[in-house]
């Protein structure tokens, strides 16, 4: 009977015969939360009871139709497709590129602040003048450029000290880096933007150097350089070379520079536009070397004691302005210095006057005259002074010079690597 009632809820069952007039319908039992009653047509009418869920063996169960089950599965599949993928170890890692960029920014900022501790810029734009990559920096209120150099093994000579050419190259390097760091470097060799527009370049007119002590292999030297006015149409540049560890002054140098037209190769006055560029960096100070005002002598074949001929520049001796680098002139001057002086003495001071430039096709002669008493006793002399001339074959003067030499300990060296007792 229960099966028939449940089936009649979906499929009506027709009555085979007319109902008995004396038959009275009875109330049927509760069938799993449904109530059924006999209709007048002889079928059963079932009503669902939503308030009392059925129980089996004392446990509540739910009766879900197949349609509701399918609907529930569709809703679950749609919700799972729209949800984000589960978090794994790979997609929870941080963005390393952003992290590295942040670390780099913090490091550069900290390094810049550290380098600014020993000076305070007078002008607000001077913060840009610090080079954080070790090529030098601006100090002393923006008027002095400082750079360190380590003496390499290929920069020392036979007496195991840095050569004078090495020292001069350090001076020239700091001068160019000063212009570059100050933001005044145009497309020329140390020329400012206004100088480039007018085809002007700097040429050295006079150089004076005093060497108190030569550094050795492995030493670190600290070079300070600054610029100032020199007359109406000149610029003075000073250098101080110190031992980086002790602060001892090793070399002092002062030079005067003038302008020359790159095309006509003639000297030029300083234009006002160029003066406006360089004057903010002028430091009004005395030369670091006491100027030697003595006139440099002119030598010839009769007054010279030593002559060296056939000196010609190589392609590597030219700079970007297509003339011989001024440091090369020093090497040519020393070509005619007597060997006895080179072996027993070291260069202590030097004064040079540059008269004209030298091209790549020039052939030069180097002349030297020893001013001290007696040429034959050079090794026994305390201080020796020499006069020098570098000229073209036709007699045109390139450089006049004077050098002062002091004794060194080379004569006390027995074998290589042995130091004299005074230096041990």
- Residue 33, exposed/middle/buried by CB under 10 A (0-12, 13-18, 19+)? middle
Q: Tell me, what's the pLDDT at 88?
A: 62
CA distance 132 to 115: 8
Q: Tell me, what's the pLDDT at 121?
A: 42
Q: What is the DSSP letter of 102?
A: H
CA distance 129 to 286: 25
- The answer to whether 132 and 184 are in contact (CB under 8 A) is no
Which of 315-324, 359-368, 410-419 shows the highest mean pLDDT? 359-368
- Residue 165, exposed/middle/buried by CB under 10 A (0-12, 13-18, 19+)? middle
Integer CA distances (angstroms), 142 to 71, 190, 273, 276, in order: 80, 18, 21, 17
Determine which one of 238, 325, 345, 358 is catalytic.
358
Q: Tell me, what's the pLDDT at 82?
A: 53
Residue identified by tokens 């020039």 is: 362
Q: Tell me, what's the pLDDT at 3?
A: 43
- The answer to whether 283 and 226 are in contact (CB under 8 A) is yes
Confidence of residue 18 (pLDDT cuts 50, 70, 90): very low
Determine which one of 148, 169, 199, 321 is catalytic.
321
Contacts of 44 (CB under 8 A, 6+ apart): 5, 8, 9, 13, 36, 37, 38
Return the closest-CA partner of residue 279 out of 395, 143, 188. Answer: 143
CA distance 380 to 167: 27
Indicate the range of 82-86, 175-179, 231-235 predicted with least confidence: 82-86
- 83-122: pLDDT as tens digits: 555 666 556 656 677 778 888 888 787 776 665 554 444 4
Q: What is the mean pLDDT of residues 9-24?
A: 46
Known catalytic membership, residue 386: no
Determine which one of 323, 325, 326, 386 is catalytic.
323
Indicate the range of 105-119, 192-206, 408-422 predicted with least confidence: 408-422
- The answer to whether 260 and 233 are in contact (CB under 8 A) is no
- Residue 347, exposed/middle/buried by CB under 10 A (0-12, 13-18, 19+)? buried
Mean pLDDT, the chain, as a whole number?
A: 76
Contacts of 339 (CB under 8 A, 6+ apart): none
Predicted TM-score (pTM) of the model is 0.65
- 332-377: pLDDT as tens digits: 999 999 999 999 999 999 999 999 988 888 999 999 999 855 555 5
Indicate the range of 23-32, 338-347, 383-392, 393-402 predicted with least confidence: 23-32
Q: Tell me, what's the pLDDT at 57?
A: 52
Return the closest-CA partner of residue 172 out of 277, 326, 358. Answer: 326
Q: Tell me, what's the pLDDT at 418?
A: 39
Does 8 have pLDDT greater than 90?
no
Alpha helix ranges (H) inside 39-116: 66-82, 96-115
- 263-312: pLDDT as tens digits: 898 999 999 999 999 999 999 888 899 888 889 999 999 999 999 999 99
Q: Tell me, what's the pLDDT at 59?
A: 53
- 133-164: pLDDT as tens digits: 457 898 988 899 999 999 999 999 888 999 99
Confidence of residue 178 (pLDDT cuts 50, 70, 90): very high
């Amino acid at each position: 009977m229960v099966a028939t009632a449940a089936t009649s809820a979906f499929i009506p069952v027709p009555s085979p015969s007319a109902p008995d007039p004396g038959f009275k319908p009875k109330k049927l039992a509760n069938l799993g939360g449904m109530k059924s009653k006999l209709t007048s047509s002889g079928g059963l009418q079932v009503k669902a009871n939503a308030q009392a869920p059925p129980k089996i063996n004392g446990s509540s169960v739910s009766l879900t139709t197949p349609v509701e089950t399918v609907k529930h599965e569709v809703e679950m599949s749609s919700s799972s497709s729209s949800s984000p993928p589960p978090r794994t170890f790979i997609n929870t890692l941080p963005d390393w590129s952003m992290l590295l960029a942040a670390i780099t920014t913090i490091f550069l900022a900290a390094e810049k602040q550290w380098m600014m501790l020993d000076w305070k810029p007078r002008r607000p734009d001077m913060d840009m003048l610090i080079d954080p990559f070790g090529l030098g920096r601006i100090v002393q209120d923006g008027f002095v450029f400082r750079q360190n150099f380590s003496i390499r093994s290929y920069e020392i000579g036979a007496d195991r000290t840095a050569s004078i050419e090495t020292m001069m190259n350090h001076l020239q390097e700091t001068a160019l880096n000063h212009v570059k760091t100050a933001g005044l470097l145009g497309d020329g060799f140390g020329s400012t933007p206004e100088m480039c527009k007018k085809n002007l370049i700097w040429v050295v007119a006079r150089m004076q150097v005093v060497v108190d002590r030569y550094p050795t292999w492995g030493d670190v030297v600290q070079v300070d350089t600054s610029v100032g006015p020199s007359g109406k149409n000149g610029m003075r540049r000073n250098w101080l070379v110190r031992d980086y560890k002790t602060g001892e002054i090793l070399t002092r140098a002062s030079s005067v520079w003038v302008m020359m037209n790159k095309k006509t190769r003639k000297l030029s006055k300083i234009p006002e536009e160029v003066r406006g560029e360089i004057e903010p960096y002028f430091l009004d100070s005395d030369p670091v070397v006491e100027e030697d005002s003595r006139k440099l002598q002119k030598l010839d074949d009769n007054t010279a004691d030593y002559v060296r001929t056939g000196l010609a520049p190589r392609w590597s001796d030219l700079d970007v302005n297509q003339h011989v680098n001024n440091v090369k002139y020093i090497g040519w001057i020393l070509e005619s210095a007597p060997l006895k002086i080179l072996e027993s003495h070291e260069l202590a001071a030097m004064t040079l006057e540059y008269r004209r430039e030298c091209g790549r096709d020039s052939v030069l002669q180097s002349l030297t005259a020893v001013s001290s008493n007696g040429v034959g006793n050079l090794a026994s002399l305390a201080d020796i002074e020499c006069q020098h001339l570098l000229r073209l074959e036709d007699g045109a003067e390139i450089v006049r010079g004077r050098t002062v030499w002091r004794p060194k300990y080379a004569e006390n060296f027995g074998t290589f690597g042995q130091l004299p007792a005074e230096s041990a």
